[in-house]
Structure 1
C-alpha cells in the first residue's frame, strides 16, 4: 500500500511565506522589483529560515528567483539557491517551492507573450526538480496566475504591458500552457513523489454587479478569476462560461483541446485571501478601471469572505484546500485580531467537514509595496507592516525585530500540533491578548 501523503492525515499545519515578487525588467519611470533584494533576504536567508522554524512554522512557501539563476539562455547559476535550500532544510522546514512568483528572465523578450515561454519555464522547472528533488517535493507551478494575467495582460501595469480583454486572454493562455508543462516536467522527474499546490488569488466582487455600466465587466471578472486554473485542469470545453470570450479573442480550438488532453490537477488547492483587499466593490454610477493603478474600492469582508473563497475553490476543484496567504497590513493589534479570527474560522470550517490542510501567514517579515516600482523614493517609503517580524533600518542593514504577532502565531501552531498528537490543548485555544 502507498503511504498517505503528508496532507492526508487530517491535521491542520501552520506555515509561513516570504514575499518573493520578482519583476526585474526596468524602463523609464519604472524600477525593477526584487523583494529578496529589498528585504535583504539574499543576505539573511539562513537567519530568516531559523526564525520561521522558531515560531512553529512547519512549512515555508518560498520562491525561486528564476531571472537570477538563468542569467542567459542555456546558462544556470545555482550557487545562492544551493545555499538557501540547504539552510531551509537544516532549519527543519518543509519547502513548498514557488517556481514562478511573477517575473521572467531579462533575456526572454516579450516575457509571458514570448512563444517560447511555456517551454522555457518548463525547462527551468525540470532542472530545479532534478537538482533539489531529494529535499523538495511540493511545488506551486505558478503563484496567482490570474494576478499575473491581469497585471501583465489587462491593466498594462507589468511586462509585457498588455491591455484589455484580448491582452488578458493572451497572457492567460500562455501562463496556463506554461503551468501545464511545468507540472508535467516536475512529474517526469519526481513521479508520484511530487505534490502540487496550485495557488490563486481569492478574488471576490460585490456591489452593483447588475448595474448597466458594470454588468458585462462584472460578469466576465466573476468567471475570469478561475480562468487559468480552469484551462490548466482541462475544464474549458463546450458550455464553459468563457469559451465564447476566449474564441472571440483568438484562442485556437486546437490549443483548448490540448489543455483538455494534457490536463493537470492540484493535490492541494491553495487560495490567497486578504480580508481588506480581496473583495472589490462595483459602485452605481462610478467607473473604476480596476487594477493596481486605478483600483475599484474594496472593503473588509473578514471571515465571511474567507469562508466564501475557500468554499468556492474547494467546490470547483475538489481537492483539499489550503489558505496559502493571509494577513492584514496594520498595527500589531490588528494583525493579532485577524490571526485569531481567521484561525477560528478555519477551525469552524474544518469541524463542518471542509478539508483544510494548511494555514499560511504571509509574510514572515514585512515587505515593500509594489508601488516601489513606480517611485524614485527610498524603500522605507513603501514599507508594509504585515509580518511576524518588523523590518527595521539599521546601520548594518535591515534587522528583523520580533513582534507579538509571532507569539500569537506560535501559540496557534503549537496548540494545533499538540491537539493533533492527542497530548493536550484544543485547536481553538486562544492566548490572552497582549
Structure 2
C-alpha cells in the first residue's frame, strides 16, 4: 500500500498539527485558572451586602454585618484570591458611608479597597443594594437620584483605578419588593409605589453612570437585574400575569431607552410617571460600556396555579431561555451575575447546570462574558426575603459562616481549572488585536 499524504507529511515534517509560534492549529483549549488578561471570560463571586429596612424602617437588615464580613473582610478577600477568582462583585455599604449631603465616611471602604488592589482582585463595585441611608428615607424620595449621583461621583474620584460598576443593583426587585410587595423600606403595596420607586432608582442609576464616566470614561457598567418569569397555570390565560411578564423588563427598558409596549406605557402613566419623565428616560442610554447582568435563582421562575397559589418552577425555562428573551430585546453583552441554591448538597449540581446554561447560550452566538456564584459565604434569612428576623442560615455560599468551604467551592474550582482561560466571547481572540499568541483551539 502506497503512502498517503499524511504519512508523507509526518515522515518529513513530524506532527503536522503542531502549529507555529502564533498558535496555529494546536492553539489552546481555554483550560487553566483565570488570568487578568482582558480577553479572558470573567468568573466571579460576590459578597452578600443587602441592607434594606423592615418593620417600617425600624430595623436595618445589613447582611455585611449579619454574615460577618465587617469582622472577617480580610479573610473573605483572601478566600476569593485562593479560590483562583479574579473578579468580585463587591457592595460598599452605602447606608453607612453617605452621612448626608456632601458628607461621607470612607474608613471601612478605604481599608477594603486597598487590600483588594493589593491582592490584584478586580472589583465590580455595587453602589446601592436594596436600601438607602436613613436620612434619605426610602425609594419614594424624589431627591434620591441627585444625592446618589454625588455619592457615585465621589466613589469614582476616590478609587480611580476601578473600572467596573453596578450602580443600583436589581432595580426591578428593589422597586417591586419596596413599593408593591410591602416587604422592605417604604413597604407599600401599590402600583404607584412600585412605579415611583422604579423611576427614582432607574434615574439614580443613570445619573450615577454619568458621574462615574466623568472620572472613568471607559467605565464598564454591569447592570445586575433579576431574570424573572411567571408561568400561567390556568386554562384561561390571566391578563394580570401577562402584564407582570412585561413589567419585568421595565427597569432595563428605562435604562436602555427601549420603548415598552402600549399597555406598559399606560401602566406607567396611570401609576405616577409623567409624560416628561418618560421622555427623559427614552432620550438615550447612559454612558459607559453597558453589560446586561441577568440573575437567576430557581425561585425567580414561578407557576401560578388556577387557584392563585404559587409553586417554584426552576428549570421549566431556566437561565438560558429567560436570558435569551432579554438578549433578543436589548442585544447587550451578558453577565450571569447571581445564582445559588439553599441546599449545600445540591449546590455543585446547580452550579454545573447554570454553567451548562451559559455554554449553551454562548454556542448560539450570544456574547455571555461572565459568570458569578453568589455569594462567597452563606447568607441569613433570604428564605423569607429578609422580611423576617429568624436568623436562618441559608447554606448557599462557597463557604459557610465559619469560612469553611462547602462542596460547591471545590466544584467551582474545577470549573475554573477547566474553563478559566476561555475567551470572553467565542472567537474573541479575533477581535482583540494584540501581540499575544493565538490560543483558542476549541470553541467554548
Q: TM-score higher than 0.5 here?
A: yes
Tell me the distance in 2 between the aligned counterparts of 1:45 and 1:253.
46
Q: Among residues 387, 390, 400, which one is paired with 2:397 in the alignment?
A: 387
Q: Which has the higher contact order (CA 8 A, sep 6+)?
A: 2
Q: 1 CA distance for matches of 2:370 and 2:233?
A: 34
Regions of 4+ moved over 6 Å: 421-428
1:261 corresponds in structure 2 to 283
Quickly say closer, same or farther: Cα 1:422–1:410, change in 2 above 3 A. Answer: farther
Contact 1:180 1:262 in 2 (8 A): no
> What CA distance in whole angstroms lies between the structure 1 residues aligned with 2:411 and 2:327?
28
Three-state SS of the structure 1 residue aligned to 2:400 is strand
Name which of 371, 374, 394 aligns with 1:359: 371
1:298 aligns with 2:312: yes
Q: Name which of 159, 172, 175 aligns with 1:132.
A: 159
Which of 46, 71, 75 pairs up with 1:43? 71
Partner residue, 1:411: 414
Q: CA deviation at 1:7?
A: 9.5
In the TM superposition, what whole-angstrom CA distance separates every residue of 1:345-383 from its partner, at most 9, and x where no partner exists? 322321221211111001111011244855454x2xx10
Shift of 1:77: 0.5
Judging changes above 3 Å, is the alpha-carbon distance between structure 1 residues 419 and 99 closer, same or farther for their aligned structure 2 residues? closer
**Correspondence for 2:361:** 349
Moved more, 39-48 or 339-348: 339-348
**1:13-35 Cα distance to aligned partner (Å, 9 max, x none):** 2110111101246548x632000
- The answer to whether structure 1 residue 217 and structure 2 residue 240 are counterparts is yes
* Structure 1 residues 41-89: Cα deviation after superposition (integer angstroms, max 9, x where no partner): 0111111011011112120011111111113333211010000111112
Partners of 1:389 and 1:354 in 2: how far apart? 31
Quick one: structure 1 residues 157 and 375, their matched pair in 2 at CA, closer, same or farther if it must change by over 3 Å? closer
Q: In structure 1, how many angstroms separate the alpha carbons of the residues matched to 2:408 and 2:330?
A: 33
Q: Which residue does the alignment assign to 1:234?
A: 257
Separation of aligned partners in 1, 2:134 and 2:328: 39
1:83-98 alignment to 2 at 5 Å?
83-98=111-126
Residue-pair matches, total? 394
Q: Does 1:122 align with 2:149?
A: yes
**Residues 321 and 356, structure 1, Cα contact 8 Å, conserved in 2:** yes
Structure 2, unmatched stretches of 5+, are: 1-35, 424-436
Change (3 A) 1:306 1:25: closer
Aligned to 2:336: 323
CA distance in 1, matches of 2:46, 2:409: 13
Matched residue, 2:61? 33
Give the alignment partner of residue 19 of structure 1, picking from 45, 48, 61: 48
**Is this contact kept in 1: 2:344–2:408, CA < 8 A?**
no
Contact preservation (8 Å) 2:54, 2:387 = no
**Could you say which residue in structure 1 is the equivalent of 2:168?**
142
C-alpha distance in structure 2 between counterparts of 1:383 and 1:325, whole Å? 18
Root-mean-square deviation (CA, aligned residues, Å) is 2.4
Q: What does residue range 361-380 of structure 1 map to in structure 2 within 5 Å?
A: 361-370=373-382, 371=384, 374-375=387-388, 377=390, 379=391
Between the aligned partners of 2:42 and 2:368, the Cα distance in structure 1 is 9
1: CA distance between counterparts of 2:272 and 2:387? 32
Question: Contact 2:53/2:185 (CA < 8 Å) preserved in 1?
Answer: no
Residue 230 of structure 2, aligned match among 197, 205, 226: 205
SS of the equivalent of 1:95 reads: strand
* Structure of greater Rg: 2
CA drift at 1:172: 1.2
Do residues 58 (structure 1) and 86 (structure 2) align? yes
Q: Return the TM-score normalized by structure 1.
A: 0.85
Give the Cα–Cα distance (whole angstroms) in 1 for the partners of residues 361 and 111 of structure 2.
Answer: 39
Aligned 8 A contact 1:412 1:427 in 2 = no
- Give me the TM-score of the superposition, normalised by structure 2: 0.83
1:170 aligns with 2:182: no
Contact 1:415 1:426 in 2 (8 A): no
SS at match of 1:112: coil
Correspondence for 2:325 among 312, 315, 318? 312
- Residues 249-283 of structure 1 show CA distances to partners (whole Å, capped at 9, x for unaligned) of 23111111111225327621100001x21111111
Tell me, in whole angstroms, the C-alpha distance in 2 between the residues paired with 1:72 and 1:283.
47
